[in-house]
Structure 1
Amino acid sequence: MRPNVFKVAISLIIVLGVITILFLFLYPFPKKVDLVSPAVSFYENDPSSLKQTSIRITGTLNRPLFQQHVFKGAVTIDDLEFTKVNETLDTYVLDKYNGINMGNLVYHKPSKPGEFVTLSMIWFDDSFEHINIVSDWGQDKKKKFFIVSASSYEQAIDIQKKMREKYGSTFVPQE
């Protein structure tokens, strides 16, 4: 009778050990982000509006089990002064598909937390290598204004295309 209890106990310890190792290996713990990425800004379908800039992202991407993921930190764009003097609200990942995250990018005045400066949409991959921001931040409010982590217009369009193929039809720009 004793040997069966011993075998069951050893089997249980092995199974729990494997589950623990798999959990520790696969669980996406919070990820610290501190990067500066070259970027371009432009109006949709207007390569002549291209400007070189950079995106600086610092903070933490929290990915709790069975809960909404959230980026807590700052997103600063060199050519846009309001991103330097205002604070970024927490960016909740509203949708995630094939490694592409989508959320709202909202800036507010630090002295008046309830007063929003601007709202935009941001898509980014899990490593923050590819970033696509769509907004009305440009001078022409009738056209979509993009900021993409790329070095040229062609590369930006290619990155948007690859992100759209992964994310799906609700990615902006849609085509």
Structure 2
Amino acid sequence: MKSKVFKVTISFIIILGIITTLILFFYPFPKKVNVVSPAVSFYENDPSSAKQTSISISGTLNRPLFRQHIFKGTVTIDGLEFTKENETLDTYVLDKNNGINMGNLVYHKPSKQGEFVTSSIIWFDDTFEHINIVSDWGGINKKSFFIVSASTYEEAIDTQKKMREKYGSTFVPRE
């Protein structure tokens, strides 16, 4: 009798373990994101180019265990009309270090599938409090164009420094 109860208990534990593992593997653990943050846009090493703007992020960050995280939603930046007129492709988190995520930020025309408008790289923390976007949108003298969640140019540089310290040497801008 004890042997039968033991076998039933072990079978139950194994089945429960398999079900739990499958749920953890396939459930995306979504996190709703609705952030409007003051930001500063500027060209690399050019404080005179700094302009006040804001970043609006709305969507869902899917964070499945053991699989790639994906942000599905929109990223709009005041003053950059193409971010309002076009759609944002899903942003796959390509790398994650110490709470800082990195992915591609790609805009495409909603009316024409596969026609990309522009792309850039975005770094953000898990709460979307600290954001760093780098691109060539500015096109001046081949300098990188940054949009950083901050209120001033000095705060933006400090935010980039803190994010670089957490993320590592492949963060842009480099030292």
1:67-116 per-residue CA deviation (whole Å, 9 max, x = no partner) reads 11110000000110000000000000000010000000000000012100
Q: Secondary structure at the match of 2:164?
A: helix
2:171 aligned partner: 171
What's the secondary structure of 1:173's corresponding residue? coil
Report how many aligned residue pairs link the two structures. 167
Matched, 1:45 2:57: no
The equivalent residue for 1:118 is 118
- SS state at 2:158 partner: helix
Q: Which runs of 4+ in 1 moved over 3 A?
A: none
Distance 1:168 1:28, change over 3 A: farther
Once the two structures are TM-superposed, the CA of residue 165 in structure 1 deviates from its matched residue by: 0.4
Determine whether 1:108 maps to 2:108: yes
Tell me the amino acid that sits aligned with residue 47 of structure 2.
Answer: P
Match of 1:158 in 2: 158
Structure-1 residue corresponding to 2:34: 34
Gaps of 5+ in 1: none
Q: Taking structure 1 as reference, are residues 69 and 141 closer, same or farther at Cα in structure 2, changes over 3 Å only?
A: farther
Taking the aligned partners of 1:92 and 1:144, their CA distance within structure 2 comes to 22
| 2:100 is the alignment partner of 1:81 | no
**CA distance in 1: counterparts of 2:31 and 2:161, whole angstroms:** 26
**Paired residue type of 2:62:** N
1:140 to partner: Cα distance: 1.0
The residue type paired with residue 121 of structure 2 is M
Q: Which amino acid in structure 2 is aligned with residue 55 of structure 1?
A: I
Number of the residue aligned with 1:144: 144
TM (norm. structure 1) is: 0.85
| 1:114 counterpart SS class | coil
> Bigger shift: 135-144 or 159-168?
135-144
Can you give the 5+ residue segments of structure 2 that lack an aligned partner in the other structure?
A: none
1:134 has 2:129 as partner? no
Letter in 2 for 1:85: E
Find the aligned partners of 2:95 and 2:140 in 1 and give their Cα distance: 28
Distance (Å, rounded) in 2 between the aligned partners of 1:43 and 1:87: 24
In the TM superposition, residue 33 of structure 1 has moved relative to its aligned partner by: 0.3
The Cα shift of 1:28 comes to 7.9
RMSD of aligned Cα (Å): 2.5
Q: Could you tell me which amino acid in structure 2 is paired with residue 100 of structure 1?
A: I
Identity rate of aligned residues, in percent? 83
1:3-31 Cα distance to aligned partner (Å, 9 max, x none) = xx68x95xx97xx89xx7xx99xx98210
